[in-house]
């Protein structure tokens, strides 16, 4: 589906999985646009891959629309939109505020909605396209102390399945990738949070997070990026409405 020079937009592109996605797609010949809240990291990744960058908060629909307009001016219509931005703050449910919950839904669910809605017209005009969310196994099962994150990721899976049916005859596919714990800066923040709140050593904190993975290893960013590339290939043209678990068999 993605021809050489196709325009791929990636949110949360300044580090971790987003950076890996940008590099993989650029090496495959795509024109890449990297979006994120922090200007320095997204500009750095864009320079690394010879792509475009735009700064925006994915929870702000107007900001996302403006960012995509700037990226279109440089790279043309969008062929694939990968909603990768996310955050997983940890707090017991009875200590969460309504603002905590709204924040978790905003970045992890509303951000997906905003990107996909802003990119969809280009794909409808072209009669083809790929909408991909980097979700989580937290969209397939529950985890303690991240109830807002789990609720948001379950929402992403529901959005994916519903939109896939709406667009099934348009040439556009909609899928979610659901990794387990990925070795990224966000994972490091989670480990530091566990150490701070429980007094565990970092080694034991790592073991606690690995306990649910039958392979006893963290998912690597390149595994997620390669899965996204496959979903953008002709071989995956019948893959629609799926929530693909990359978890070593956890779910």
The residues annotated with a catalytic role in the active site are 149
Number of domains into which the chain is organized = 2
244: nearest Cα among 145, 147, 177: 177
Do residue 147 and residue 205 come from a single domain?
no
Domain that holds residue 188: 183-218
Give a yes or no: residue 250 inside a domain: no
Do residue 118 and residue 189 come from a single domain?
no
Give a yes or no: residue 94 inside a domain: yes
Do residue 38 and residue 124 come from a single domain?
yes
Q: What is the pTM of this model?
A: 0.94
One pLDDT digit (tens) per residue for the chain, 251 residues = 578 899 999 999 999 999 999 999 999 999 999 999 999 999 999 999 999 999 999 999 999 999 999 999 999 999 999 999 999 888 999 999 999 999 999 999 999 999 999 999 999 999 999 999 999 999 999 999 999 999 999 999 999 999 999 999 999 999 999 999 999 888 888 888 788 888 888 888 888 888 889 999 999 999 999 999 999 999 999 999 999 999 999 97
180 close to 159: Cβ distance less than 8 angstroms: no
Q: Which ranges of 60-137 would DSSP assign to H, the alpha helix?
A: 61-75, 98-105, 111-126
State the pLDDT at residue 208: 83
Do residue 110 and residue 131 come from a single domain?
yes
Structure tokens at 233: 């290939």
CA distance 25 to 102: 32
Do residue 224 and residue 133 come from a single domain?
yes
Do residue 37 and residue 88 come from a single domain?
yes
Give a yes or no: residue 33 inside a domain: yes
State the pLDDT at residue 1: 54
Do residue 152 and residue 226 come from a single domain?
yes
Do residue 95 and residue 144 come from a single domain?
yes
């Amino acid at each position: 589906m993605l021809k050489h020079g196709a325009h791929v937009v990636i949110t949360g592109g300044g580090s971790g999985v987003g950076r890996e996605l940008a590099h993989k797609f650029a090496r495959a010949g795509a024109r890449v646009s990297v979006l994120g809240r922090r200007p320095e990291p997204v500009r750095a990744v864009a320079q690394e891959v010879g792509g475009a960058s735009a700064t925006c908060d994915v929870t702000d629909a107007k900001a996302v629309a403006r960012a995509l307009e700037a990226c279109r001016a440089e790279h043309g219509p969008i062929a694939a939109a990968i909603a990768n931005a996310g955050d997983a703050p940890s707090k017991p449910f009875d200590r969460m505020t309504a603002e905590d919950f709204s924040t978790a839904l905003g970045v992890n669910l509303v951000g997906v909605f905003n990107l996909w809605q802003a990119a969809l017209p280009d794909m409808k005009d072209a009669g083809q396209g790929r909408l991909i969310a980097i979700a989580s196994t937290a969209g397939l099962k529950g985890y303690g102390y991240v109830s807002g994150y789990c609720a948001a990721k379950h929402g992403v899976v529901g959005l994916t399945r519903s939109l896939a049916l709406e667009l099934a005859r348009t040439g556009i596919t909609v899928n979610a990738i659901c990794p387990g714990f990925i070795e990224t800066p966000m994972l490091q923040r989670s480990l530091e949070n566990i150490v701070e709140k429980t007094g565990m050593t970092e080694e034991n904190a790592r073991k606690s997070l690995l306990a649910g993975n039958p392979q006893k290893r963290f998912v690597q960013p390149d595994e997620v990026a390669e899965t996204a590339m496959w979903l953008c290939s002709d071989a995956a043209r019948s893959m629609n409405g799926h929530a693909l678990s990359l978890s070593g068999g956890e779910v």
